[in-house]
Amino acid sequence: MLKIAIQKSGRLYEDSIKLLKECGIQLNNGNKQLKTIAENFPLEVYFLRDDDIPQYVYDGVADIGIVGENVLLEKNKDIDLVYRLGFGKCRLSIAVPKTMQYRSITDLNGLKIATTYSTILQKYLAEKKIPAEIHEISGSVEIAPGIGLADAICDLVSSGSTLFTNGLKEVEVILKSEAVLTANKNLSEENKNILEKLLLRINAVKTAKNNKYIILNAPNHQLQNIENVLPGMKSPTVTPLATEGWSSVQSVVNENDFWEVIEKLKQFEAEGILVIPIEKMIV
């Protein structure tokens, strides 16, 4: 049985549970247990503190884990990054008081910077050759400049509203982070096989979210142009309509290209374009 560690609370918990459910894995954690076994997949789930997950995976207590990339890099454990999951996106940034005139990173010279991410910050400052002092604290980093504990901070930023509320402005982005799936380097063959099955499901879910299924009607004299716009997974599906000279075309369009493709289809006389979300997509 494959053992997975996920956050027991916090910003990654809901999306981690949602992902497992979208993969068809049924969990029963109604009483907020710290451990549960999936009903229909060989998976045991541990609910842990985010900061502890890399250590549990490294020690082999958990085989795999879902954790923020920022935590993975900060803890610096020798475990594998298996899959970028695309949720929990944020950035680790340096922020200074709004009143400070900030021109470049050299303005950090000699300053005291408060952070929870001392390992990542130390590496970044060393690479930039900035001699700043790091003051490591465990929480409420954003208030450090206001109470005289530090001159600047290095912390996670999503919308930036917390920085604004505390009179700070973001000046340097150190790292762009998201939730990642990690794995112990010494998985048994049995658990490697289970992980491959899980990855197949995760990839099908994530690929589906990035694509749309479209159905449209088109005049036959424009089919070649439309097929060039809609390559689909291999090629579009084309079916003759009852109306002479017209066909129905079905294909898959990547979310990033969607509106550009729609505009081209309209130029080639496409009509009745239906856009349908895809639940799973196995390629």
CA distances from 124 to 57, 74, 100, 251, 254 (A): 26, 12, 21, 45, 35
Q: Say if residue 93's pLDDT is above 90.
A: yes
Tens of pLDDT, residues 204-217:
999 898 899 999 99
Say yes or no to pLDDT of 114 above 70.
Answer: yes
How is the beta sheet containing 168-177 ordered, strand by strand?
Answer: 133-136, 112-115, 152-157, 90-97, 168-177
Question: Which whole number is the average pLDDT over 171-200?
Answer: 96
Strand partners, 253: 212
The model carries a pTM of 0.84
pLDDT mean across residues, the chain? 92
pLDDT, residue 283, reads: 73
Q: Provide the angle, in degrees to the nearest 10, between the axes of the packed helices 13-22 and 189-209.
A: 100
Residues 223-258 pLDDT 10s:
999 988 886 667 788 999 999 999 999 999 988 889
- The percentage of residues in the chain with a pLDDT greater than 90, rounded to a whole number, is 81
Structural domains in the chain, CATH included, are 2-87+179-208 (3.40.190.10), 90-177 (3.40.190.10), 211-277 (3.30.70.120)
Give tens-digit pLDDT for 118-137.
999 999 999 999 999 999 99
pLDDT per position as a tens digit, 13-66: 999 999 999 999 998 865 577 899 999 999 999 999 999 999 999 999 999 999
Q: Which band of pLDDT confidence, cut at 50, 70 and 90, is reported for residue 281?
A: confident
Residue with tokens 């993969």: 23
| Phi, psi of 38, rounded to the nearest 5 degrees | -65, 145
